[in-house]
Amino acid sequence: MAGIYQLKGCIQPYAWGGKHYIANLLNVTNNQEPYAEYWLGAHISAPSQLLIANGEISLLDFLHKNPTALGTQSRQLFGDNLPYLLKILDVANPLSIQLHPTKKQAEIGFAQENAAGIPLNDPKRTYKDDNHKPEMMIALSDFWLLHGFKTKSKILDTLRQRTSLADLATKLASQNLADFYADIMLAKQDQLAQWLLPIIEGQQKAYEQNQLAMQDPDYWVLYTLHAMQISRDKLDAGLMSFYLFNIVNLQVGEGIFQAAGVPHAYLRGQNIELMACSDNVIRGGLTPKHVDIEQLLKIIDCSEIVPQIIAPAPKNQVYTYPTPIADFALSNMPYAKNTEISDRTLNGTILLVMTGEITLEAAQQKLTLKQGQAAFVEADTDYRVHGMQEGYAVFAGLPL
């Protein structure tokens, strides 16, 4: 059995996606639809395809027939399923305010929705599988996101600086963050208007003249209002999150880890994302998709968070980013022309060429992979990477 196979992923045309970045990465033509995400993995909703001698087979089916390709460690920890999902994201418009469940929460929620007879493809379904979805991302461009609650003192400062939100500061001073956030997310339209319209109307001109700093929550409220075409008479409670959550700006190569329960939202830019193999997303606003405030408030982590930024990978060496969980690890492998790197996989591994060109060899097998092309490497495979054109690739696998 061959140890390496070329792998074709799946493009997800979500409305918030851009039209050019992923198409350019993959060297494909885009007919002007949004290319939001590119998935490489074996999730049941969009498994990648392995190229084999007589055609193609989904990675999901291949692993069911050949579970040893996953490796002993992976099978002991996660059974006969690929435990991770690798993605490229192109965020042209803000994503929803969202969070992901723990493993136990996912198992309970998935079972409850199954028992209720809600089809897996029902747009109103919250739990698509029974797995947790911790995730890490590495910025491929200047990247902006929301990540967890700011410290209470910073939230109070933010609220007090805005006349229409000053009463909220008084309220928060005598309330815990969980109860405070629940009151915000359950607020009626007239209350949202009292909080937000004075800011929107007062800052509109400054926004149009590019006078608002991007670290200013007011900028993102105006930006999101326009990008998502939110009507001023139907304001979204999710807009209030810009005053409560950390606004994080990552430079190229920097990253961040999103633990279960931590609220977040990607706002603008491109990234590599690696996560446990799940599509469980509990949304709290700023989206046309199903919003489940009840579930969101039940499992949200309202801890005060100081964002922990993952440093860029060192240049000129293979580097594995630190991760606090067992489900996945992301490695960065730079190469120059005519350089060779040899190693051995312990578990099933996905390689994606980000720039340049390589040959990937194992035993008598050889693949030539250019920018945007990927491969699946079976466990216990001795492989060699030869740089044909300078660039770098990323590996998705398990922590060693």
> If we measure between CA atoms, which residue out of 37, 32, 30, 41 comes closest to residue 11?
37
Q: Hey, which residues are catalytic here?
A: 283
In the chain, the N- to C-terminal Cα span, in Å, equals 24
With vertex at residue 332, the alpha carbon angle to CA 19 and CA 86, rounded to the nearest 5 degrees, is: 50
235 and 189 in contact (C-beta within 8 Å)? yes
Residue that has been written with the tokens 């008084």 in this structure: 170
What whole-number distance in Å separates Cα of residue 15 and Cα of residue 7?
25
- Helical spans, DSSP H, in 42-151: 59-65, 72-78, 103-115
What whole-number distance in Å separates Cα of residue 228 and Cα of residue 220?
11
159 and 166 in contact (C-beta within 8 Å)? yes
Q: Is 98 annotated as a binding residue?
A: yes
- Helical spans, DSSP H, in 20-87: 21-26, 59-65, 72-78
What whole-number distance in Å separates Cα of residue 237 and Cα of residue 188?
9
Q: Is 226 annotated as a binding residue?
A: no
Q: Give, as one character, the DSSP assignment of residue 150.
A: P
What whole-number distance in Å separates Cα of residue 214 and Cα of residue 266?
14
Q: Is 43 annotated as a binding residue?
A: no
383 and 343 in contact (C-beta within 8 Å)? yes
**What is the four-CA torsion angle of 356, 82, 283, 309, rounded to 10 degrees?**
-50
> Residue 3 — left, alpha, or beta (φ > 0 → left; ψ -120 to 50 → alpha)?
alpha
Phi then psi for residue 91, to 5 deg, are -95, 100
Q: Is 112 annotated as a binding residue?
A: no
- 80: which strand partners? none
What whole-number distance in Å separates Cα of residue 294 and Cα of residue 296?
5
> If we measure between CA atoms, which residue out of 375, 13, 15 comes closest to residue 23?
13
- 185: which strand partners? none
29 and 62 in contact (C-beta within 8 Å)? no
Q: Give, as one character, the DSSP assignment of residue 311.
A: P
Residue ranges at the known binding site: 98, 100, 135, 264
Residues annotated in a binding site for Zn(2+):
98, 100, 135, 264
